Amino acid sequence: MDEELAISVRGLRKAYGDNVAVAGVDLAVRRGEVFALLGPNGAGKTTTVEILEGYRQRDAGEVHVLGVDPAHPSPGWRARMGIVLQGTGEFDELTVAEVVRHFSAFYPHADDPAKVIERVGLADKAKARTHTLSGGQKRRLDVALGIVGRPELLFLDEPTTGFDPEARREFWELIRDLNAAGTTILLTTHYLDEAEALADRVGVIAAGRLVEVAPPSRLGNRQEAMATVSWRTPDGVAQSAASATPTALVTELAARHGGEVPGLTVTRPTLEDVYLRMIGHR
């Protein structure tokens, strides 16, 4: 097991009867990075993560998480991880402080509950009953419960589903702060802009296989893809052209138009474009 790796997976396989959910996945997540695992529903993403968390048995392959095989977990190993599911539970009649304090008792070296509550931005809600929290505030509480044990590795499952744009970006800042403090994060999300904003690397899984792992900017060689330059002629007709040298084309257009080019845009394939191509979307 490489000490620089938080997660090491080789030849991971899992089937449910005749349905092969994971078909030989190899994966490595470095300590200190944010890794986003992307894939459509039914691709094997959830099964893979549940095996890493120690909640599902694999059929074959080698798996090490923080140096331990999740098939043979120990309380000490579990205490080194934090898991934020899509919903931790309902504690309607308890206050935020009571819930975090209760969960902190499960860990041998838990963080100070009051500091954790402040860290996730809920200090002004510490005495509020959880049923009075907004959706975004409840998600912050979920994260507080996930990090109160001072985890080395944090699993985040679809962390901002249902958030409005402002709440999502506030949550992103929280994730960045956790990572800056040294926490390794494995994130699953269906939001491609979220993966691009947060992840050092992304892995795309489809039909039980890991298609590619790369930084978001380089996935599918998108940095080398042809750019599309669009503009309008002086009489308002829309024009566009694919170009491997868009700067040269824009310079030519500027000369042709005497400076400013009407309606000028230069675009390359987005992460979503590349992702959809990888999973075979039509």
Confidence (pLDDT) at 222: 82
- Note the pLDDT tens digit of each residue in 195-221: 999 999 999 999 999 999 999 989 988
188 and 151 assigned to the same domain: yes
Confidence (pLDDT) at 269: 85
Q: Kindly state the average pLDDT of the residues 46-61.
A: 94
Give 64's Cβ-side CA count (13 Å radius): 14
Q: What is the dihedral of CA 65, 213, 274, 205, to 10 degrees?
A: -40
Confidence (pLDDT) at 236: 86
Confidence (pLDDT) at 88: 59
Question: Minimum mean pLDDT among 7-11, 35-39, 257-261: which range?
Answer: 257-261
In the chain, the number of structural domains is 2
Mean pLDDT of the chain: 90
Beta strands across the sheet bearing 19-30: 19-30, 5-16, 60-65
122 and 239 assigned to the same domain: no
Confidence (pLDDT) at 282: 42
Confidence (pLDDT) at 244: 86
Q: What percent of the chain has pLDDT over 90?
A: 61
- Note the pLDDT tens digit of each residue in 89-146: 678 889 999 999 999 999 988 999 999 999 888 999 999 999 999 888 888 898 899 9
The answer as to whether 75 is a domain residue is yes
102 and 229 assigned to the same domain: no
52 and 124 assigned to the same domain: yes
Contact 240, 207 (CB under 8 A): no
Cα radius of gyration rounded to whole Å, the chain: 23
Q: What percent of the chain has pLDDT over 70?
A: 97
Q: Kindly state the average pLDDT of the residues 226-238.
A: 89
Contact 26, 212 (CB under 8 A): no
C-alpha 85: how far from chain center: 13
- Res 87 pLDDT > 70: no
| Parallel, antiparallel or unpaired: strands 227-232 and 238-243 | antiparallel
d(CA 14, CA 17): 10
The range of the structural domain enclosing residue 258 comes to 225-278
3-state secondary structure of 185: strand
Among 169, 188, 215, the domain boundary falls at 215
- Res 60 pLDDT > 50: yes
Among 215, 242, 262, the domain boundary falls at 215
d(CA 242, CA 234): 20
Output the domain CATH number for residue 103. Answer: 3.40.50.300
Confidence (pLDDT) at 1: 54
Higher-pLDDT residue of 35 and 146 is 35
DSSP 56-117: S--SEEEEEETTB-TTS--HHHHTTEEEE-S-----TTSBHHHHHHHHHTTSTTPPPHHHHH
List, in sequence order, every residue forming a beta bridge with 151; answer none if it has no partner.
none
135 and 266 assigned to the same domain: no
- Note the pLDDT tens digit of each residue in 138-179: 888 988 999 999 999 999 988 887 778 888 888 899 899 999
Among 171, 194, 215, the domain boundary falls at 215
107 and 233 assigned to the same domain: no
